[in-house]
Amino acid sequence: QKEVEQNSGPLSVPEGAIASLNCTYSDRVSQSFFWYRQYSGKSPELIMSIYSNGDKEDGRFTAQLNKASQYVSLLIRDSQPSDSATYLCAVIESGGSNYKLTFGKGTLLTVNP
């Protein structure tokens, strides 16, 4: 069974700090990785996708991928109270004609003013 593991948290950081969210996955041949943000009672919103080893930066967000360690992370710089949400790591299952996402259970982030 292909799995995506995240620490459920809650992760609590002060405003302005760096929040670090981690995710591991079991399918060694996975090639596509995504971070979604989900506010309470809302649907997920795509933050970033990453496909190659290394870092990918977009504004205050940086995704990091290490395929050898089967590890993907999301860093949020200058955290704001509005970043408080559940962050979902998702991995594309390899194979097949439809690209199905496998989600982790999410990490709840709280940014304290």
Partner 1 sequence: GAVVSQHPSWVICKSGTSVKIECRSLDFQATTMFWYRQFPKQSLMLMATSNEGSKATYEQGVEKDKFLINHASLTLSTLTVTSAHPEDSSFYICSVQRNTDTQYFGPGTRLTVL
Which residues bind to partner 1, rule: CB under 8 A?
32, 34, 36, 42-46, 49, 88, 92, 98-101, 103-106
Q: What's the closest the beta carbon of residue 44 comes to partner 1, in angstroms?
A: 5
Backbone torsions φ then ψ of 33, nearest 5 degrees: -135, 140
Q: What's the closest the beta carbon of residue 17 comes to partner 1, in angstroms?
A: 25
Q: What's the closest the beta carbon of residue 16 comes to partner 1, in angstroms?
A: 28
Judged by beta carbon, residue 21 or residue 88, the one nearer partner 1 is 88
Judged by beta carbon, residue 18 or residue 46, the one nearer partner 1 is 46
Residue with tokens 């949400």: 85
Q: What Å distances lie between residue 7 and 14, 29, 57, 84, 96, CA to CA?
A: 19, 22, 22, 16, 29
d(CA 42, CA 101) in angstroms, rounded, equals 18
